């Protein structure tokens, strides 16, 4: 009897097994486990040698499970319970996603007869495989070891199983594509060294042009940053910190380090991990100008449909591309996922340079499992990790921070001097008593501040202050959908280019990280040190005012939202009240010296001591090898918010298209992402109670029902208050 890999008889089973073995072995070679990858490929489809399974595929007879057969065969063949556990999980779950031990046990226990039916038809040489040895770094500790060491090993085992599973799933899916003559061809990309040369040529030309036409002190410091990145790249793999003040050229200099470092160490790719989609769009555009749009893979939920080409989608499936730009959410939630669609890419993270941009934005409540993951990637999977920010958090290992990182090397040799040379802002601390927003607006108008940015704590604060200023004042907050915010930012940037224009902007903290915008005067409500420093990066960014821009830090009449934002403000207040004898450096004005990297270390040490670094208990679930529970606990986006589609531009036309489809595609749902506002439970309940919300496709999205569309304001976004929660039927009048 002939055995096939699929119901169309397009591929012989043994051909498929050979293809998966070769790919899985190649993929796992990146972390010196090719024998494991080969065995997974050999046994993953043993169940397809069952005659009953062939009838199921070819003749549509009763469904029968096949993936469990290879896992159960490993159970019967080998004695070592821990090594065969890796085979049981990866083979048995290669279609279902990684499960927990109880679900695995239930599947394996009932598979004895299936194994007997399969092995009588399988080639004998395929069945006679040896159990590979442990990787040298994963040899289990002795049973008498202390519990801490045993749990550390269990988490390393858990991470390794994820990597093996990724190798098998990707190898299986790639080989299955060969059966489909209509399947799109996987894209080819330039080599890492060619991309490095392209970047070097681009940067050198840009520097040469600036020297001829517009060489400023800021340009000179950016050149120093670039030189330091190029020099530091020629070293072995490890942890690196790139501490560069906002506006110091981190985007291209950091990529120069990454590509040169990858070439030096024969690494496969550069993965740039960014906290906010607004920064991704900005940075990806810079990279696209250098390398060509087709050579920069963007993988995030808010990608512009025009950029999400077939080439981009295919490479996003498994990150088989030399340059990948993605989000914190996509990167870290994939590392701790249990679904195959997300796990598939993990093996391609091995032997990569990972640039964590704005690293201070990592969520503190998940910091322990995040740092544990990047420790694993550095120690056992050939990765280098770059911690890139203007406000370097205190992530190095110390007695009070045992989950920290070992041996972090600074790329910039003298970060303090660079910070002071790039200082372009004079800070005015007005943090005594609270200042009302009416006083702020009066001051702006009285002093005729024509180009000014104010950053507030809360959405409501931004709305209140913008309402007190002239109607041509712009407003930005998360009450506005991404498309709306993007349009406002574009308009603001255009106005700023005209030096005679009046432009006032009131924003929440979403303006702080990575947004390339430049005001001569900036107000910031007292907040955490990192927030104040990031806001300073929006002031005199290009150093055009040689006397320095004005950053006015004031005490707002309201508190920041409860949680980490309020904690950050509290720590900042304690630093303002401390003395130099407490180790807090001060400038000539007697206030905190924000040009000192040491102050950020002090701030973040205090900050991390005030939060639970694994509040969800991810590490315990990992040590229990409970993969679904880990995925459930490791969530970087607040699940207490609700996505509401709002009537901005053509959002509701797109909504109708999605609603009319019986089974909308991922692209259909993605088309609505630019028009979504995330709202918290009290607002959601208020809207839902009065019938202001409709939903589509099993509540995948909510939307404002027609009588309540006016709640979305063209200036302030979605405004929910007791005063406006009534329907407006005027447009339905005949």
Domain around 451: 424-594
Give the model's pLDDT for residue 577.
84
Number of structural domains in the chain: 4
Residue 111's SS3 state is coil
Please identify which residue in the block is written with the tokens 């000014």.
452
pLDDT at residue 420, rounded to an integer: 66
The reply to whether 415 and 428 lie within a common domain is no
In sequence order, what are the residues at sequence separation of 6 or more whose Cβ sits closer than 8 angstroms to the Cβ of residue 242? 229, 250, 253, 254, 257, 386, 387, 388, 389, 411, 412
Q: Say yes or no: 544 and 452 in one domain.
A: yes
Residue 619 lies in a domain: no
Q: What is the pLDDT of residue 734?
A: 45
Q: Would you give the distance in Å from CA 465 to the centre of its chain? A: 32
Please tell me the distance from the alpha carbon of residue 227 to that of residue 421, in angstroms, as a whole number. 16
Spell out the residues 6+ positions from residue 27 whose beta carbon is closer than 8 angstroms to its own: 37, 166, 167, 170, 171, 347, 348
Q: Could you tell me if 212 and 158 lie in one domain? A: no
> Which residue has better confidence, 24 or 500?
24
92-106: per-residue pLDDT in tens? 999 999 999 999 999
Residue 353 belongs to some domain of the structure: yes
Query: pLDDT by residue (tens digit) across 373-412?
Result: 999 999 999 999 999 988 888 899 988 888 999 999 999 8
| Mean pLDDT taken over the chain | 90
Domain assignment present for residue 123? The answer is yes
| Judgement on whether residues 267 and 375 belong to the same structural domain of the protein | yes
477 and 394 in a single domain? The answer is no
Instruction: Cite the beta strand spans of 575-724 per DSSP E.
Output: 641-645, 676-680, 693-696, 701-704, 712-713, 717-718
Q: What percent of the chain has pLDDT over 90?
A: 66
One domain for residues 531 and 441: yes
What is the Rg, in whole angstroms, of the alpha carbon atoms belonging to the chain? 28
Whether 632 maps to a domain, the answer reads no
CA distance 430 to 569: 14
Residues 721, 580, single domain; the answer is no
Instruction: Write out the H or E segment, with its range, that includes residue 119.
Output: helix 112-119
Q: Is 586 helix (H, G, I), strand (E, B) or coil?
A: strand
164 lies in the same domain as 296: no
Mean pLDDT within 214-241: 88
Domain membership flag for residue 615: no
Whether residues 279 and 265 share a domain: the answer is yes
Q: Which residue has the higher pLDDT, 206 or 297?
A: 297
Return phi, psi of residue 521, to 5°.
Answer: -130, 130
| Residues 528, 481 share a domain | yes
* Angle subtended at Cα 337 by Cα 329 and Cα 482, rounded to the nearest 5 degrees: 25
CA 55 and chain centroid, separation: 44
Say if residue 114 is in the same domain as residue 245.
Answer: no
CATH number at residue 413: 3.40.50.300
Selected residue with higher pLDDT from 510 and 621:
621
- 582 pLDDT exceeds 70? no
Phi then psi for residue 221, to 5 deg, are -70, -35
The predicted structure's pLDDT at residue 668: 78
Do 483 and 564 lie in one domain? The reply is yes
Beta-ladder partners of 704: 693
Q: Given this model, what pLDDT does residue 586 score?
A: 57
CA-to-CA dists, residue 639 to 364, 635, 642, 719, angstroms: 16, 8, 8, 21
């Amino acid at each position: 009897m002939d055995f096939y890999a699929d119901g169309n008889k397009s591929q012989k089973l043994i051909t498929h097994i050979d293809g998966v073995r070769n790919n899985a072995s190649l993929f796992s070679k990146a972390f010196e486990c090719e024998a494991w990858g080969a065995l997974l490929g050999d046994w993953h489809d043993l169940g397809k040698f069952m005659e009953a399974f062939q009838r199921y595929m070819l003749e549509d007879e009763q469904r029968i499970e096949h993936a469990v057969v290879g896992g159960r065969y490993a159970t019967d063949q080998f004695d070592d319970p821990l090594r065969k556990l890796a085979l049981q999980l990866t083979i048995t779950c290669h279609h279902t996603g990684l499960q927990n031990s109880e679900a695995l046990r239930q599947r394996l226990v009932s598979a004895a007869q299936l194994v007997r039916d399969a092995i009588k038809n399988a080639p004998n040489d395929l069945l006679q495989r040896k159990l590979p040895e442990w990787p040298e770094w994963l040899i289990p500790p002795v049973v008498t070891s202390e519990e801490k060491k045993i749990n550390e090993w269990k988490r390393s085992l858990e991470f390794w199983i994820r990597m093996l599973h990724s190798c098998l799933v990707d190898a299986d899916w790639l080989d299955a594509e060969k059966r489909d003559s209509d399947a799109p061809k996987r894209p080819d990309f330039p080599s890492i060294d060619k991309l490095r040369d392209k970047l070097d040529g681009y940067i050198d030309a840009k520097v040469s042009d600036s020297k001829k036409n517009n060489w400023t002190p800021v340009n000179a410091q950016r050149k120093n940053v670039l030189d330091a990145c190029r020099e530091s790249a020629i070293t072995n793999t490890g942890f690196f910190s790139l501490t560069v003040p906002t506006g110091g050229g981190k985007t291209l200099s950091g990529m120069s380090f990454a590509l040169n470092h990858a070439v030096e160490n024969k690494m496969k790719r550069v993965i740039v991990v960014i906290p906010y989609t607004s920064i991704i769009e900005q940075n990806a555009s810079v990279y696209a100008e250098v390398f060509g749009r087709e050579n920069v893979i963007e993988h995030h939920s808010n990608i512009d449909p025009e950029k999400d080409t077939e080439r981009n989608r295919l490479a996003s499936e498994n990150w088989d591309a030399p340059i990948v730009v993605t989000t914190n959410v996509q990167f870290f939630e994939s590392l701790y996922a249990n679904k195959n669609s997300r796990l598939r890419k993990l093996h391609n993270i091995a032997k990569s340079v990972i640039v964590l941009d704005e690293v201070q934005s990592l969520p503190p409540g998940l910091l322990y499992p995040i740092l544990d993951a990047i420790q694993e990637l550095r120690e056992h999977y050939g990765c280098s990790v770059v911690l890139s920010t203007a406000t370097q958090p205190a992530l190095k290992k110390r007695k009070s921070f045992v989950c920290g990182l070992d041996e972090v090397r600074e790329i910039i040799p003298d970060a303090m001097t660079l910070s002071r040379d790039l200082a372009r802002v004079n800070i005015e601390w007005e943090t005594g008593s609270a200042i009302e927003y009416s006083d702020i607006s009066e001051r702006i108008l009285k002093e005729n501040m024509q180009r000014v940015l104010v950053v507030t704590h809360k959405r409501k604060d931004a709305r209140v202050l913008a309402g007190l200023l002239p109607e041509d004042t712009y407003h930005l907050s998360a009450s506005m959908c991404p498309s709306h915010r993007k349009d406002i930012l574009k308009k603001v940037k255009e106005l700023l280019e005209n030096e005679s224009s009046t432009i006032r902007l009131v924003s929440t903290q979403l303006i702080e990280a990575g947004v390339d915008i430049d005001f001569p005067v900036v107000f910031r409500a007292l907040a955490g040190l990192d927030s104040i420093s990031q806001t300073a990066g929006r002031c005199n960014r290009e150093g055009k005012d040689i006397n320095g821009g004005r950053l006015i830090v004031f005490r707002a009449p309201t508190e920041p939202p409860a949680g980490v934002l309020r904690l950050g403000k509290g720590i900042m207040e304690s630093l303002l009240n401390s003395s130099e004898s407490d180790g807090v450096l001060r400038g000539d004005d007697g206030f905190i010296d924000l040009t000192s990297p040491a102050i950020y270390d002090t701030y973040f040490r205090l900050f991390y001591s005030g939060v639970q670094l694994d509040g969800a208990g991810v590490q315990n679930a990992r040590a229990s090898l409970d993969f679904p529970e880990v995925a459930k606990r490791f969530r970087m986006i607040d699940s207490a918010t609700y996505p509401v589609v709002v009537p901005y531009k053509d959002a509701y036309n797109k909504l109708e298209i999605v609603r009319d489809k019986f089974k909308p595609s991922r692209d259909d749902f993605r088309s609505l992402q630019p028009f979504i506002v995330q709202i918290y439970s009290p607002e959601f309940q208020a809207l839902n109670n009065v019938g202001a919300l409709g939903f589509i496709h099993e509540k995948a999205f909510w939307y404002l029902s027609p009588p309540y569309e006016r709640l979305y304001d063209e200036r302030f976004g979605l405004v929910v208050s007791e005063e406006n929660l009534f329907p407006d039927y005027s447009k339905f009048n005949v």
